[in-house]
Structure 1
Amino acid sequence: MNKNKLEALLSLLDDPDKIIHKSVEKELIELPVSTIPQLEDSWLESKSPLFQERVEIVINKIQFSTVKKEFIEWSTTKTPNLIDGAILVNKSYNPNLLIEPIRKSIQKIKEDVSLEINDDLSPLEKIKILNHFFFNIYNYQALSPNQPTNWDGDIGTVLSQKHGNSIIMAIIYAGIAQELNIPVYGINLPNSVLLCYKDEASKNSKKKNADSVLFYINPIDKGSVFNQKDLEQIIHSKNMENKLKFYKLASNTNMIKRLVQHEINVYQKLNLDSFIPNFKELFRSI
């Protein structure tokens, strides 16, 4: 959009006629994120509180629209990266999120773990090494679900604080594992943060269902390992019908959807309602 047309639209943004205002806003929010500096300059130059308020709304909608598009693109890739998915959720309400520190934190853990891991190790040995660095050396811990905060799902904050809700901790743990070519994934047990170690040897075999899992992992109990029988007991303790799908791998998009749903629940509890519509839109987009 050329400068003259942009200025013409902005001159109508605080028009008292609601129809005109909404029409102008609709056109403005279609602008690329690169236009935001010009909108911010207009905000600084204006002395109208109403204009400034409406410019802020336009900027926020442009930023969210950009993240939503990235989120949809992420979800449709062949192998959506868990860490990238968590970053996009964080960006949906913090568009100025610094990604480089996040990636540096992840890379440091990966480098430390990779020095100790080789192809001769068994799956259990690999998980033992990952657990040692993640829980003992870096001391990551899950926060109590009884103390929800508006930051416990932010991957940026969680990596710096080394604390977070159980879902983001499972995502970071599995995300690091996957980037190290260790096949750790979520499972399809509702309201669960449990993970599994995929049996890579069964990819081309006739094994089905739970047989494609070597063992299960509890990322909020320092990566403790358990078997299918133990998972059956967990399902029984939850008074749930024992369905075969509960033992299967969950997709990475499913894991990120759980994070978004958690954010919706937490923000509702904290009465931070202004963020909820965007979370719901993000949830529906994948």
Structure 2
Amino acid sequence: MVKTESIEALIRLLDDPDEHIVSLVRSKLLDIGPAALEFLRTSVDILDFEPAAFVEIERLMQELQFAEVKADLIDWIKKPEKDLLRGAYLIAKYQFPDLEYHQLNEQITSIEKKVWLELNGKLTSFEIVKTINAVLFDFYGFKGAETHDFSPYHSLLNTVLEEREGTPLSLSILYSIIAQRLEIPIYGVGFPNHFILAYMDEYRIHRLLQSDGSGGVLFYIDPFAKGELLSRGNLEDTLQHYQMLPQRHFFEPSSHSSILIRMINNLIVSYNRLNRTDKVSELDTLKKCFIS
């Protein structure tokens, strides 16, 4: 572990007029990694640097913040149990480096408690969904953003919680996290072009209703449409409209890794529209973490 005094001494050298020294210091601080971040943040407030040094510090902080998110994401990917909120938090932290996990967790816990207060053990699966819909879309006012105007902020969970608008994916992530915390079997489904949710048939009700029932999905939910209920037939009609052949993974729950990859892809599309090639490149790097 690098000593505090050594890091502080290196930061002070960023104000050296010799560009070669500044370059060496920069490399050493990048090698130290995220541990140097807090010292860089503090130095902006307490040290009297020339303007060029402040520019260099800002650049270093951005690189180190990205390295920190990347390292945390790789750690998340390696875990056998992947917490979806933690993963969504890491993607949000990429855009908002000062974001703390507890901020997201507290907001979602507040919504979860409101849903819990409205539930009781006698509700059917349809009534449970109706209750969640009432809390999310009527009480809190969450809604789908205009499809022609998806900004990066519509994909990030912290801004979705603040602005109450999101994409099909971000609203589905919020909905499923709350449901799963309440032990309601609702999971994300990577349907083409429009992420949805599946209420799993955990009690194998389909076996009682249909001779060919498999006990898989009871029904589907579209949070982008304020929790509209959908059948498999509805989804197959949509595929037929777009001349797409049905595939098994279109109808079954997605892994949390694939959900995060889809979130990153959505952000890449948004930043491409904004001509932010720097962001697109960084997000491509994060996406590659899943296949390395």
TM-score normalised by the shorter chain: which range applies?
0.7 to 0.9
Return 80-89 or 29-38, whichever deviates more. 29-38
Does residue 62 of structure 1 match 2:64?
Answer: yes
In structure 2, what is the Cα distance between the partners aligned to 1:86 and 1:123?
A: 27
- 8 Å Cα contact 2:169-2:196 kept in structure 1: no
Contact 2:14 2:56 in 1 (8 A): no
Residue 236 (structure 2) aligned to one of 212, 229, 232 = 232
Higher helix share: 2
Corresponding residue of 2:87: 85
Q: SS of the counterpart of 2:147?
A: coil
Shift of 1:158: 1.5
Residue 268 of structure 2 is matched in structure 1 by 264
Q: Deviations over 1:228-286 (max 9, x none)?
A: 11211111112212222321211122112211111111111112333222222222212
Q: What root-mean-square deviation, in Å, do the aligned CA atoms of Structure 1 and Structure 2 show?
A: 2.7
User: Retained in 1: the 8 A contact 2:29–2:36?
Assistant: no
Question: Cα deviations across residues 60-79 of structure 1 (Å, max 9, x unaligned)?
Answer: 22222222222222233333
2:287 to 272, 283, 286: 283
Matched, 1:160 2:162: yes
Offset at 1:148?
2.6
How many angstroms apart in 2 are the aligned matches of 1:63 and 1:41?
15
Deviation per residue, 1:81-122 (Å, 9 max, x gap): 222222111111211114444322211211121123244432
Return the alpha-carbon distance in structure 1 between the equivalents of residues 278 and 48 of structure 2.
25
Q: Cα 1:41–1:113, aligned 2, differ >3 Å: closer, same or farther?
A: closer
Q: Corresponding residue for 2:19?
A: 16
Q: Secondary structure at the match of 1:225?
A: strand
Q: Return the letter of the residue paired with 1:238.
A: Y
- Structure 2: runs of 5 or more not aligned: none
Q: Does 1:74 align with 2:76?
A: yes
Give me the whole-angstrom Cα distance separating, in 2, the residues matched to 1:40 and 1:159: 27
Paired position in structure 1 for 2:139 = 137
Q: Alignment partner of 2:226: what SS? A: coil
CA distance in 2, matches of 1:245, 1:116: 33
Q: How does 1:184-223 map to 2 (within 5 A)?
A: 184-201=186-203, 211-223=215-227
CA distance in structure 1 between the partners assigned to 2:214 and 2:74 by the alignment: 30
Cα drift, residue 36 of structure 1: 2.5
Q: Residue in 1 aligned with 2:245?
A: 241
1:189–1:247: 8 Å Cα contact kept in structure 2? yes
Report the TM-score when normalising by structure 2.
0.84
For the residue of structure 1 that corresponds to 2:220, the secondary structure is strand
Alpha-carbon distance between aligned partners in 1 of 2:30 and 2:247, rounded to the nearest angstrom = 45
How many percent identity over aligned positions? Answer: 28
Q: Specify the alignment match of 2:38 in structure 1.
A: 37
Runs of 4+, deviation exceeding 6 Å? none
Q: For residues 105 and 40 of structure 1, what CA distance do their matches in structure 2 show? A: 27
Which runs of 5 or more structure 1 residues have no equivalent in the other structure?
none
**Cα separation, 2, equivalents of 1:21 and 1:83:** 39
